[in-house]
């Protein structure tokens, strides 16, 4: 086991990467969005993750994004930089660049496409963790990578002094609890529908895609639970379900749905980069209607 892990925060947002209308990196927009997210309840931001379109941003853009967001939020929030690639050497190089640019921690997805066995996945994580002095968040999302980070692998990796946390998108709630019970790893729900459930069994918080458009609503669930009001936490999580479903379970990536919603809120987004395509007008209208209903419900008092 590790000692008490580095604190990444509790309500983290998997931030989109804003682009200009021409598709260039919008650093001013990234700063405005980051400031808004932190002001409205996020104590951590994950940059260049899945929602941040990391496969289609360059190494230089990733560095610039970290530097710009750090300038915007200062020390008000932790910055976790996504650096995972299918190539160990490239991943280690990105990790070093993220450290130099001002990241507080690294998000390290399992190597995808080549589908390495568990011993190779473990070696990839260890070699990258050894490349910098930053804490490492392991990202288990087999639906995208094609490989699972098995519980036994996580138990071994927990012994590494810089492996401090897991972003869990495994959809294996039993395995998550097994690793949490046997290690000091801080577990973060990577799927918004699991935010309260994982937190209630000892999770550290969430890395939320929905937080791009509703950061205070996402945070309020965990706030209520921390105050000992489980019923209110449940009510607030249930209030979010229609938006979670619309953004995350409608067949489009969360990046696409978040970027469809943000302009209606007067916030930077810009287009998605190919091969992703923007939401069509019908889907965009439905998303905005769902968000508007959440805002209306949020303005009414609880009926408990």
Of 116, 119, 121, give the one whose Cα is nearest residue 138: 121
Whose tokens are 């669930």? That residue is: 221
139 is catalytic: yes
Type and span of the H or E element at 118: helix 118-129
Q: How far apart, in whole angstroms, are the C-alpha atoms of residue 186 and residue 171?
A: 17
DSSP run (H or E) holding 208: strand 205-208
Contact 187, 204 (CB under 8 A): yes
Q: Which contiguous run of DSSP H or E holds residue 168?
A: strand 163-168
Identify the active-site residue in 62, 112, 124, 167.
167
Per the annotation, the verdict on 62 as an active-site residue is no
Catalytic residue among 62, 124, 139, 291: 139
∠ CA(25), CA(30), CA(31), 5° rounding?
A: 135
Helix axes 27-39, 59-73, angle to 10 degrees: 40
Q: Does residue 267 contact residue 36 with C-beta atoms inside 8 Å? A: yes
Closest to 201 in 3D by CA, of 224, 172, 218, 181: 181
Q: Which helix (H) or strand (E) holds 252?
A: none
Catalytic site positions: 139, 167
């Amino acid at each position: 086991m590790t000692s008490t892990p580095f604190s990444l925060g509790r309500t983290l947002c998997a931030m989109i990467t804003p682009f200009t209308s021409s598709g260039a990196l919008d650093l001013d927009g990234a700063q405005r969005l980051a400031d808004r997210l932190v002001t409205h309840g996020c104590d951590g931001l994950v940059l260049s993750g899945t929602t941040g379109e990391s496969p289609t941003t360059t190494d230089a853009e990733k560095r610039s994004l970290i530097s710009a967001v750090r300038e915007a939020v200062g020390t008000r929030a932790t910055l976790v930089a996504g650096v995972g690639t299918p190539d160990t050497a490239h991943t280690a190089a990105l990790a070093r660049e993220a450290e130099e640019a001002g990241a507080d921690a690294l998000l390290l997805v399992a190597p995808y496409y080549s589908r390495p066995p568990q011993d190779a996945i473990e070696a990839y994580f260890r070699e990258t963790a050894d490349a910098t002095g930053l804490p490492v968040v392991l990202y288990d999302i087999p639906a995208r990578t094609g490989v699972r980070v098995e519980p036994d692998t996580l138990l071994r990796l927990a012994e590494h002094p810089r492996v401090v946390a897991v972003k869990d998108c495994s959809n294996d709630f039993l395995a998550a609890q097994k690793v949490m019970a046997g290690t000091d790893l801080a577990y973060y729900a990577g799927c918004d529908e699991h935010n309260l459930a994982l937190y209630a069994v000892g999770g550290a918080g969430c890395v939320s895609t929905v937080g791009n458009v509703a950061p205070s609503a996402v945070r309020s669930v965990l706030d209520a639970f921390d105050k000992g009001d489980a019923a209110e936490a449940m009510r607030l999580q249930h209030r979010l379900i229609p938006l979670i479903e619309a953004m995350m379970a409608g067949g489009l990536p969360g990046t696409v749905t978040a970027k469809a919603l943000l302009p209606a809120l007067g916030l930077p987004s810009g287009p998605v980069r190919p091969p992703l395509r923007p939401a069509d007008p019908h889907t965009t209208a439905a998303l905005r209607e769902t968000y508007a209903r959440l805002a209306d419900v949020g303005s009414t008092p609880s009926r408990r």
